[in-house]
């Protein structure tokens, strides 16, 4: 049967086919993360003056929002500038939490402990995000860049020529900090460690051995005391322009440090990069000794070197901020890399091209067996948060599709969490919820970490709701053997989450086979119960559950439990005297939609799908059906974007409706 093809639909179909390839099977293992920035209260909390109860509620609300759209990992910023959004004996409470640096929350609570527990309840990973070197985002009036190198060298032999305040009336050096920072802040504990750039910002000098040791101590304090899933750094190593080392007189700031601790280097740039490398390696080794299951990742600036790969140009991390991410990959001192690729896909693959850079980074990480989760500049899709060149509404979706088309890329990280749900980001949350992250996913397994499978959940039960026939309540017991991994330091990893599967089948399915289809995975949770609302179906629903380790290795499944058939609520209405074909929902859709129709009597019913050329592309149902309303799900994963016609044939009657697939 041929359908009349209008010019409008022909143009739409042609254009859609050009911009969209066939959708691959949704991944079962995918890293879906976002940064939650606390510095200057960007994402959370809205203010340090908010009462604790509102801060807690806001945090759980945001976690719920992230869970709803499919996010399964959170980079939660706990150290912004030598401060702490967690209980620390080493650094002061952050002013971004309580409004005043050094002031503890009242009533007392620990945001890091709280967010870990809440994230784990939701089956999400929590990566503690720290800035390792930034000490002050702005310089108080009583902390100035006045240095007498000779005086420091003479009077503080062994400490090195570090930046401190001094009085030069009689060339006398006096070490002072700043009254604007808490007494526990590094500006007061160790002002000699700080480098002040252009009287604007201050960083801890990466070339000082004591700074390396101190930063390892700060991070390992978190690793030891908190049940985090990962440690994450952004790209704040040596400063960015305009306060970079080559700006004004900054180049000489670490001359004496270089002279004192050259470690065999005669090139200061190589030495600076090695300062960072030493810290990264020391921290990696420390984590491996204490809790080897904790992941360690860094998000470097997106360009490693200008001209690498060919056609890429612009500021680079290697020569400007001295971050050599390729060295970390080669030495395998990190587990994953999240290059900050906050640019669009370039038509010509030059300049700063997301696609070319993402593929290059993924290739480098894969070469050394590590994971790549590119960072997306979602803030550039928001007119309210960025004044430069804005992304088109389809730019981030194009990037996510590209990631999924590259087997060496296993996830995405979005900057930042607020931009996912704000209206100004052009509905991206809806794109995640209804399209890209419609099916939940476990985080990718790292084969260099423990791959031992946990024990199977016990006493798995499924109960149908007494009032709503489409709701099922699942419960199970934690496996009796709750120790997953032991470390050399006697730490034990006992964290489990659970993968919940629902299968729509006429006969009892094989759990082993059903686990291979990502579409059967309906939820990941850290709790031992779950309530499911199932859509109408012609067949029986079956459920089973697996345990998943922190490294996302699954246990053997529980027994598959039969739950029953869910019929459409429409069936309770009076059956019409003639056939009715309803509009599919949702429409437009990607990649699945539901098609319902009502039959006045039992009979042969065929539900078919055609493209606009009149070619049959799918058979949704073929066979006898009883009188009443019937709903079928149509999966268009193998089809291209465009307009399609679904046709119902019943007892000599043929009805047609159009639907739109948008990928």
pTM metric for this prediction: 0.82
Q: Is the peptide bond between 309 and the residue preceding it cis, with omega within 30 degrees of 0?
A: yes
What is the model's pLDDT at position 569?
54
What does pLDDT average to over the chain?
88
- Asked which of 242-251, 254-263, 574-583 is least confident by mean pLDDT, the reply is 574-583
Whole-angstrom distance, CA of residue 76 vs CA of residue 95? 16
More confident residue, 94 or 594: 94
Tens of pLDDT, residue by residue over 260-308, are: 999 999 999 999 999 999 999 999 999 999 999 999 999 999 999 999 9
Task: Find the helix or strand (DSSP H, E) in which 347 lies.
Answer: none
Taking phi first (over 0 means left), then psi (-120 to 50 degrees means alpha), and beta for anything else, what does residue 294 get?
Answer: beta
Nearest Cα neighbor of 286 from 339, 231, 324, 238 is 231
The residues near 211 (Cβ < 8 Å, ≥ 6 apart) are 133, 193, 204, 205
Whole-angstrom distance, CA of residue 645 vs CA of residue 125? 42
Helix (H, G, I), strand (E, B) or coil at 476: strand
Quickly state the pLDDT bin for 200 (edges 50, 70, 90). Answer: very high
Whole-angstrom distance, CA of residue 642 vs CA of residue 359? 28
Q: Calculate mean pLDDT across residues 135-139.
A: 93
Question: Per-residue pLDDT for 362 more than 60?
Answer: yes
Whole-angstrom distance, CA of residue 152 vs CA of residue 160? 7
Q: How crowded is residue 138: how many other Cβ atoms within 10 Å of its Cβ? A: 10
Whole-angstrom distance, CA of residue 416 vs CA of residue 409? 20
Task: Find the helix or strand (DSSP H, E) in which 582 lies.
Answer: none
**φ, ψ of residue 150 in degrees (nearest 5):** -65, -40
Whole-angstrom distance, CA of residue 485 vs CA of residue 292? 9
Q: How crowded is residue 298: how many other Cβ atoms within 10 Å of its Cβ? A: 24
What is the model's pLDDT at position 575?
61
Whole-angstrom distance, CA of residue 439 vs CA of residue 522? 6
Whole-angstrom distance, CA of residue 52 vs CA of residue 59? 11
What is the model's pLDDT at position 2?
41
Tens of pLDDT, residue by residue over 321-335, are: 999 999 999 999 999
Dihedral, CA of residue 304, residue 307, residue 308 and residue 314, to nearest 10: 30
Question: Per-residue pLDDT for 409 more than 50?
Answer: yes
Whole-angstrom distance, CA of residue 550 vs CA of residue 293? 7
Q: Calculate mean pLDDT across residues 650-659.
A: 91
What is the model's pLDDT at position 140?
84
Q: Calculate mean pLDDT across residues 623-651.
A: 88
Whole-angstrom distance, CA of residue 290 vs CA of residue 231? 13
Taking phi first (over 0 means left), then psi (-120 to 50 degrees means alpha), and beta for anything else, what does residue 490 get?
Answer: left
Let me know: does 303 contact 312? Beta carbons within 8 Å.
yes
Question: Per-residue pLDDT for 602 more than 90?
Answer: no
- Asked which of 67-71, 123-127, 289-293, 600-604 is least confident by mean pLDDT, the reply is 600-604
Nearest Cα neighbor of 392 from 383, 401, 405 is 383
- Asked which of 18-22, 202-206, 396-400, 631-635 is least confident by mean pLDDT, the reply is 18-22
The residues near 309 (Cβ < 8 Å, ≥ 6 apart) are 356, 357, 360
In a 13 Å sphere around the CA of 316, the CA atoms on its Cβ side amount to: 17
Strands (E), 443-537: 458-464, 471-477, 485-486, 492-493, 497-505, 521-525, 529-533
Please tell me the chain's helix, strand, coil percentages from 3-state DSSP, rounded to the nearest 5: 25, 25, 50
Q: Calculate mean pLDDT across residues 570-599.
A: 79
Let me know: does 497 contact 123? Beta carbons within 8 Å.
yes
Tens of pLDDT, residue by residue over 508-560, are: 999 999 999 999 999 999 999 999 999 888 889 999 999 999 999 999 999 99
Taken in order of first residue, the domains within the chain and their CATH numbers are 27-138+206-436 (3.20.20.80), 139-205 (no CATH), 458-566 (2.60.40.10), 574-661 (2.60.40.2550)
Radius of gyration (C-alpha) of the chain in whole angstroms? 29
Whole-angstrom distance, CA of residue 6 vs CA of residue 10? 6
Rank 109-123, 341-355, 597-611 by mean pLDDT and report only the highest. Answer: 109-123
Question: Per-residue pLDDT for 3 more than 70?
Answer: no
Q: Which two tokens stand for residue 277?
A: 């490398």
DSSP state of 432: I
DSSP for 72-117, please give it.
Answer: -EEEEEEESSS-BSS--SSSPBPHHHHSSTTPPPSS---HHHHHHH
What is the model's pLDDT at position 11?
39
Q: Which two tokens stand for residue 660?
A: 């739109």
Quickly state the pLDDT bin for 64 (edges 50, 70, 90). Answer: very high
What is the model's pLDDT at position 12?
39
Q: Which two tokens stand for residue 574?
A: 């009076």
What is the model's pLDDT at position 144?
53
Dihedral, CA of residue 307, residue 312, residue 314 and residue 316, to nearest 10: -60
Helix (H, G, I), strand (E, B) or coil at 648: strand
Tens of pLDDT, residue by residue over 438-489, are: 999 999 999 999 999 999 999 999 999 988 889 999 999 999 877 778 888 8
Strands (E), 279-379: 295-298, 336-337, 340-341, 371-372, 375-376
Distance set, CA 151 to CA 148, 159, 172, 575 (Å): 5, 12, 7, 95
What is the model's pLDDT at position 14?
38
Helix (H, G, I), strand (E, B) or coil at 538: coil
Query: ∠ at Cα 153 (148, 157), nearest 5°?
Result: 145
Strands (E), 387-488: 411-414, 458-464, 471-477, 485-486
Percent of the chain with pLDDT over 90: 71
Taking phi first (over 0 means left), then psi (-120 to 50 degrees means alpha), and beta for anything else, what does residue 226 get?
Answer: beta
Query: ∠ at Cα 433 (643, 114), nearest 5°?
Result: 175
Q: Calculate mean pLDDT across residues 61-68.
A: 95
Q: Calculate mean pLDDT across residues 7-30.
A: 52
Q: Calculate mean pLDDT across residues 622-633.
A: 85
Whole-angstrom distance, CA of residue 131 vs CA of residue 121? 27
Tens of pLDDT, residue by residue over 150-172, are: 333 333 333 333 323 222 222 33
**φ, ψ of residue 381 in degrees (nearest 5):** -95, 5
Distance set, CA 94 to CA 54, 103, 187, 455, 654 (Å): 17, 8, 14, 41, 68
């Amino acid at each position: 049967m041929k359908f009349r093809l209008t010019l409008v639909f022909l143009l739409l179909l042609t254009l859609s086919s050009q911009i969209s390839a066939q959708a691959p099977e949704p991944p079962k293992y995918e890293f879906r993360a976002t940064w939650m920035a606390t510095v200057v209260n960007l994402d959370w909390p809205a203010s340090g003056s908010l009462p604790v109860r509102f801060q807690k509620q806001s945090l759980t609300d945001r976690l719920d929002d992230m869970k709803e759209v499919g996010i399964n990992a959170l980079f939660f910023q706990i150290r912004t500038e030598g401060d702490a959004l967690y209980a620390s004996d080493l650094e002061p409470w952050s002013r971004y939490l309580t409004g005043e640096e050094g002031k503890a929350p009242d009533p007392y609570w620990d945001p890091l402990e709280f967010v870990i527990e809440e994230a784990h309840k939701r089956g999400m990973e929590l990566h503690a995000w720290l800035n390792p070197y930034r000490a002050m985002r702005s310089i108080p009036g009583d902390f100035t860049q006045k240095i007498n190198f000779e005086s420091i060298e003479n009077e503080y032999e062994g400490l090195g020529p570090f930046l401190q305040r001094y009085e030069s009336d009689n060339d006398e050096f006096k070490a002072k900090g700043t009254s604007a920072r808490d007494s526990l802040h590094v500006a007061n504990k160790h002002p000699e460690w700080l480098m002040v750039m252009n009287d604007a910002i201050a960083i801890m000098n990466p070339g000082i051995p004591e700074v390396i040791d101190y930063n390892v101590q700060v991070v390992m304090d978190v690793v030891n005391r908190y049940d985090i899933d990962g440690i994450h750094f952004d790209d704040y190593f040596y400063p960015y322009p305009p306060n970079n080392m080559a700006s004004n007189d900054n180049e000489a700031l670490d001359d004496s440090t270089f002279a004192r601790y050259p470690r065999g280097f005669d090139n200061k740039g190589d030495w600076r990069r090695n300062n960072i490398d030493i810290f990264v390696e020391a921290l990696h080794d420390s984590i491996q000794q204490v809790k080897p299951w904790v992941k360690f990742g860094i998000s470097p600036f997106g360009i490693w070197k200008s001209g690498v790969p060919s056609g890429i140009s612009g500021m680079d991390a290697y020569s400007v901020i001295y971050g050599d991410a390729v060295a970390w990959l080669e030495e395998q001192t990190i587990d994953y890399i999240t290059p900050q690729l906050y640019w669009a896909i370039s038509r010509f693959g030059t300049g700063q091209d997301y696609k070319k850079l993402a593929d290059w980074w993924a290739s480098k990480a894969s070469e050394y067996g590590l994971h790549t989760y590119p960072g997306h500049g979602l803030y550039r899709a928001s007119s309210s948060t960025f004044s430069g060149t804005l992304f088109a509404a389809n730019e981030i979706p194009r990037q996510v599709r590209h990631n999924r088309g590259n087997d060496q890329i296993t996830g995405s990280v979005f900057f930042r969490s607020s931009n996912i749900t704000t209206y100004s980001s052009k509905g991206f949350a809806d794109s995640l919820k209804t399209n890209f992250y419609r099916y939940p996913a476990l985080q990718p397994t790292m084969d260099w970490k423990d791959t031992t499978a946990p024990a199977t959940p016990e006493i798995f039960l499924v109960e149908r709701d007494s009032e709503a026939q489409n709701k099922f309540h699942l419960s199970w017991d934690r496996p009796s053997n709750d120790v997953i991994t032991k470390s050399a330091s006697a730490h034990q990893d006992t964290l489990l989450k659970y993968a919940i599967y629902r299968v729509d089948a006429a006969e009892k399915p094989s759990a082993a086979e059903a686990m291979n289809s990502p579409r059967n995975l309906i939820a990941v949770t850290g709790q031992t119960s779950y309530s499911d609302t199932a859509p109408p179906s012609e067949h029986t629903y079956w459920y089973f559950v697996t345990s998943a380790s922190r490294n996302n290795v699954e246990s053997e499944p529980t027994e598959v439990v039969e739950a029953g058939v869910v019929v459409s609520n429409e069936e309770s209405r009076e059956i019409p005297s003639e056939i009715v074909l309803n509009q599919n929902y949702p429409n437009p859709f990607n990649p699945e939609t539901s098609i319902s129709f009502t039959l006045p009597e039992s009979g042969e019913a065929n539900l078919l799908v055609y493209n606009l050329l009149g070619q049959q592309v799918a058979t949704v149902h073929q066979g006898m059906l009883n009188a009443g309303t019937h709903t079928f799900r149509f999966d268009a994963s193998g089809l291209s974007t465009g307009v399609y016609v679904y046709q119902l044939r019943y007892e000599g009657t043929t009805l047609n409706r159009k639907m739109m697939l948008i990928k």
